[in-house]
């Protein structure tokens, strides 16, 4: 059945909205508008489906839409900023899983039809089942790791390379078999082996590689949506999936570059012993600590301060207090900027979103390549909840999980103030040598509570 002209024009408008949404999401300043444009395009596309096609099972469809709407609204209001990476992982997994289910339904339709099915359609169907299943299972494991429902460290067991290899061979074998002889009896085990491959892909990932994997799985989901668009002969799905897949692929490459490691090492490093194996525990070496009063004096008389935010800032929900502190320092004539590392937090852009929530001026958010040279002239580098992204081990310790990762050069500042709850290592599981440098002062305590004390002390200067 051909699509009406008005529906095609509507799909075109939705596609334009998706493209403009991606453009808007490329900058924190326009991200909110981009997000709204993308949501509007998605709503338009869904509405068109109801009026442009002769749909069956309307009641179950409407029930599903209502349930999804309730879950989405509750999630938007209740999920904390620290849980945003987990939410992204779940949403991404649901998209991949949905695409795989649609492909299986279409496979059932193919086996019921007597007419021959084009070869490329069968290839796209098998691809969607496999990659959608991998994306779903991998995203679920990523969620469990980020939510700490399972260990965040790499999980490798005896015989892992053999299991990985067998799962890969099974997926390839069943995919070829399915293309040559379409059957649901082949589609189901193909999906099962795809799920197993997704689990095996993400289990060995830990620490610093998690943001890369989130981005990679997002690209996988986009590719499955594009392939399902071809199978269903839906141009909008093809366009939307291609946009997500290409954007996710580019972001994955950028993230891998920012981490200083190859994508192949992230995906297959575990086959030779693991890609992100951290083994650090807190050292008993002495460190220099100070009170909020001492740190307030450092900040109050500094001409140049650079803030390095990290996941600990998000956990403590201290971004609003931090902004008040920066406003107070700025009013005293101090130049203050935020140094944003590409993988700070638990997903790409985590710190940008967190600080935007506190309405931090976009002009103060500086990317690593832009701000790194400024640390040499900074009086104080205030590290709030970050760890691995300022760890000199990335440059000085071959064999460290983060070795080769570009870092923020907080150690080049005249004084470094490290706000930490404890001496516990960062997400990569290794000790930070910056903590023991002579110019480093530690300010222990919950970031929000300590930041409040620091703000009060600065105001009294």
71 Cβ contact partners less than 8 Å away, ≥ 6 residues apart: none
The matching CATH number, chosen from 3.40.50.800, 3.30.70.380, 3.30.360.10, 3.40.50.1220, for 292-460 is 3.40.50.1220
SS3 442: strand
- 30 vs 414, which has greater pLDDT? 414
pLDDT tens per residue across span 184-227: 999 999 999 999 999 998 888 765 677 778 888 889 999 999 99
Paired residues of 441 in beta bridges: 417
Alpha helices in 181-291 (DSSP H): 184-202, 210-232, 235-259, 263-268
Mean pLDDT of the chain: 85
pLDDT category, 50, cuts 50, 70, 90? confident
270 pLDDT more than 80: no
388 is catalytic: yes
User: What was the pLDDT predicted at 273?
Assistant: 52
How far is the C-alpha of 111 from the C-alpha of 182, rounded, in Å? Answer: 6
Mean pLDDT of 76-105: 85
Q: What percent of the chain has pLDDT over 70?
A: 91
Residue 398 has pLDDT above 60, yes or no: yes
Give CA 9 to chain center in angstroms. 33
- The CA distance from 42 to 175, in Å, is 31
DSSP element (H, E) containing 367: strand 365-367
Confidence of residue 355 (pLDDT cuts 50, 70, 90): confident
**Integer Rg of the chain from CA:** 25
DSSP category for residue 289: B
pLDDT digits (tens, 9 = 90+) for 192-202: 999 999 999 88
In the predicted structure, residue 115 carries a pLDDT above the cut 90: no
Token pair recorded at residue 32: 């909110």
Give residue 1's pLDDT: 53
Residue 38 Cα distances to 15, 79, 243, angstroms: 9, 21, 12
> What global pTM score does this model have?
0.77
Look at phi and psi of residue 385 and say left if phi exceeds 0, alpha if psi is from -120 to 50, else beta: left
pLDDT at residue 125 in the model: 93
Per-residue pLDDT, averaged over 269-285, amounts to: 53
Residue spans in the chain of domains classed CATH 3.40.50.1220: 292-460
Say whether pLDDT at 241 is over 80: yes
Q: What does the alpha-carbon distance between residue 448 and residue 457 come to, in Å, rounded to a whole number?
A: 14
- Residue 404 has what pLDDT? 78
9-25 average pLDDT score: 91
And the tokens for 192?
A: 């099962």
Residue 275: predicted pLDDT: 45
Is pLDDT above 70 for 403?
A: yes
Give the mean pLDDT of 107-121.
Answer: 84
- Helix, strand and coil content of the chain, in percent to the nearest 5, comes to 65, 5, 30
Among residues 177, 103, 166, the alpha carbon closest in space to that of 136 is found at 103
pLDDT at 260: 66
Q: Which of 209, 337, 388, 411 is catalytic?
A: 388
**Cα 414 from chain centre:** 33
pLDDT average, residue stretch 169-184: 93
**Both tokens assigned to 299:** 């900040």
HSE-up of residue 113 (Cα within 13 Å, Cβ side): 11
Is 90 exceeded by the pLDDT of residue 336? yes
Is the pLDDT score of 277 beyond 50? no
Report whether pLDDT(44) > 60.
yes
Of 64-78, 369-383, 424-438, minimum mean pLDDT range: 424-438
Q: In which band, very low, low, confident or very high, does the pLDDT at 83 lie, cut at 50, 70 and 90?
A: confident
């Amino acid at each position: 059945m051909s699509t009406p002209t008005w529906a095609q024009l509507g799909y075109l408008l939705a596609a334009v909205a998706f493209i403009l949404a991606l453009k808007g999401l490329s900058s924190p300043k326009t991200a909110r508008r981009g997000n709204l444009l993308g949501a509007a395009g998605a709503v338009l596309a869904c509405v068109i489906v109801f009026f442009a096609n002769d749909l069956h099972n309307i009641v179950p469809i409407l029930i599903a839409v209502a349930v999804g709407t309730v879950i989405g609204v509750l999630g938007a209001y209740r999920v904390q900023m620290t849980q945003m990476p987990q939410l992204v992982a779940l949403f991404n997994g649901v998209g991949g899983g949905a695409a795989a289910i649609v492909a299986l339904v279409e496979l059932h339709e193919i086996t019921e039809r007597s007419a021959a099915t084009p070869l490329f359609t069968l290839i796209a169907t098998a691809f969607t089942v496999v990659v959608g299943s991998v994306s779903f299972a991998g995203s679920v494991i990523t969620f469990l790791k980020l939510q700490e429902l399972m260990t965040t460290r790499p999980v490798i067991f005896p015989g892992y390379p053999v299991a990985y290899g067998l799962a890969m061979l099974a997926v390839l074998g069943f995919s070829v078999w399915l293309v040559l002889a379409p059957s649901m009896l082949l589609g189901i085990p193909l999906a099962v082996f795809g799920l197993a491959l997704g689990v095996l892909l993400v289990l060995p990932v830990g620490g610093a590689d998690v943001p890369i994997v989130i981005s990679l799985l997002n690209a996988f989901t986009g590719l499955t949506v594009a392939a399902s668009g071809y199978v269903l002969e839906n141009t909008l799905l093809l366009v939307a999936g291609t946009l997500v897949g290409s954007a996710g692929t580019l972001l994955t490459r950028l993230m891998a570059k920012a981490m200083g490691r190859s994508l192949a090492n992230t995906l297959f490093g575990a086959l030779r012993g693991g890609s992100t194996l951290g083994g650090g525990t807190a050292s008993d070496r002495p460190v220099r600590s100070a009170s909020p009063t001492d740190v307030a004096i450092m900040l109050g008389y500094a001409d140049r301060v650079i803030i390095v935010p990290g996941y600990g800032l998000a956990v403590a929900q201290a971004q609003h207090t931090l902004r008040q502190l920066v406003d107070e320092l700025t009013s005293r004539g101090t130049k203050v900027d935020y140094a944003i590392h590409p993988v700070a937090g638990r997903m790409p852009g985590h710190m940008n979103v967190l600080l935007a929530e506190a309405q931090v001026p976009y002009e103060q958010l500086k990317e690593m390549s832009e701000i790194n040279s400024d640390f040499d002239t900074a009086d104080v580098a205030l590290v709030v909840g970050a760890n691995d992204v300022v760890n000199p081990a990335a440059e000085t310790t071959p064999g460290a999980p983060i070795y080769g990762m570009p870092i923020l050069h907080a150690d080049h500042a005249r004084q470094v103030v490290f706000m930490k709850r404890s001496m516990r290592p960062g997400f990569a599981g290794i000790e930070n040598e910056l903590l023991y440098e002579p110019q480093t002062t530690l300010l222990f305590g919950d970031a929000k509570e300590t930041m409040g004390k620091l703000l009060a002390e600065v105001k009294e200067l």
